[in-house]
Structure 1
Amino acid sequence: MAKHDHSEHSGDALVKEAGSVLIESGEQWTTMREDVFRALAAQDRPASAYDIAEIVGKARGKRVAANSVYRILDLFVRTNLANRIESANAYLANTHPGCRHDCIFLICDDCGQADHFDDDRLTGSLRQAGEEHGYSAVRPVVELRGLCAECAG
């Protein structure tokens, strides 16, 4: 399996790195965007925009519209600060913002846990197949569903 070398971050270092990556991409790192990223990064499982809106709303002491959170999460996906779990319509913070590669997600059908691994050979083959069919800027999204070791045990 082809490995991808990257630095993973957590806690305040992750939030700081995410802010830097967003600013370098030409976007603003607003208080709301930071609050949404902090809430997302604190989750141990993929979270929906509604989950994040509720968490941020409680922290701010006022209702936060899920539509606003969706827009921010979409921006995070475009700038590689978050990954979207397509099959669950949920999001995970990218623990290595600014590192461009395609993750392969393993999602537990029982507990909802999501893990990822990198296999550049596999995603490179998918990207090449898309390009051979006339598509450009192909971004593979690969999700494998099953039971995690804990749920299967």
Structure 2
Amino acid sequence: MSGKLHTHHLEDAESFVAAVEQASEERGLRLTPLRKEVLELVAAAGKPVKAYDLLDHLRERHGNAAPPTVYRALDFLLEQGFIHKLESINAYVSCHHPAEAHQVPFLICDNCASAQEVCDARVAELIEAQARAFGFRPQAQTLEVHGLCKRCREG
């Protein structure tokens, strides 16, 4: 993982969902049909997706989906580390490493809304070390860097 930069959605959505299904089975988790469907929608989006966009897609398929249903599924997927929430834009992305718990920074393009996961453990370790140096005990960290991606800068 160290020193590598990956674009979001390294794997295709189908492979990602299969990896989450396997991780769920190994952990004894129940990936309900709704949770799986929300996961598939996040994975297929190809960029950060908002909860209400997910709700709209579910309503197209089922007609009666309600916000609490979507948020419960998202909460489960977040809790298990299968997806990440980008707080600054209030959107969700699938995780490159659904089988392992980790903290990663994201590079978010303010023009096209793409998000890149920075898969470099040194970043999270540095933040945690700095926090400890100040006597601070971190419980979670989210680092989101905003700017323009290469494609938007060159386009």
TM-score (norm 2): 0.83
Conservation of the 8 A alpha-carbon contact between 2:35 and 2:77: no
8 A Cα contact 1:102 1:118, kept in partner: no
* Aligned twin of 1:145: 146
Superposition deviation, residue 46 in structure 1: 0.4
- Higher RCO structure (Cα 8 Å, ≥6 apart): 2
CA distance in 1, matches of 2:119, 2:96: 13
Structure 1, unaligned runs of 5 or more: none
| 1:46–1:112 contact (8 Å) kept in structure 2 | yes
In the alignment, which of 32, 41, 44 is matched to residue 42 of structure 1? 44
Structure 2 unaligned segments of length 5 or more: list them.
Answer: 5-9
Shift of 1:79: 0.6
How far off is 1:141 after superposition? 0.9
Map of 1:72-91 to 2, 5 A cutoff? 72-91=73-92
- Counterpart-to-counterpart distance in 2, 1:10 and 1:110: 24
| Cα displacement (A) at 1:149 | 1.6
Divergent runs of 4+, >6 A: none
Q: Quote the Cα distance in structure 2 between the aligned partners of 1:72 and 1:24.
A: 19
Q: What is the TM-score with the length of structure 1 in the denominator?
A: 0.84
- Distance, in Å, in 2 between the alignment partners of 1:2 and 1:34 is 30
Aligned-partner Cα distance in 1 for 2:79–2:91? 15
Instruction: Name the SS for the 2:29 alignment partner.
Output: coil
Identity rate of aligned residues, in percent? 28
1:77 deviates by 1.2
Tell me the CA shift for residue 45 of structure 1.
Answer: 1.2
Whether the aligned pair in 2 keeps the contact of 1:9 and 1:96 (CA below 8 Å) is no
Structure 2: distance between partners of 1:106 and 1:14: 21
Residue 19 of structure 2: aligned partner: 17
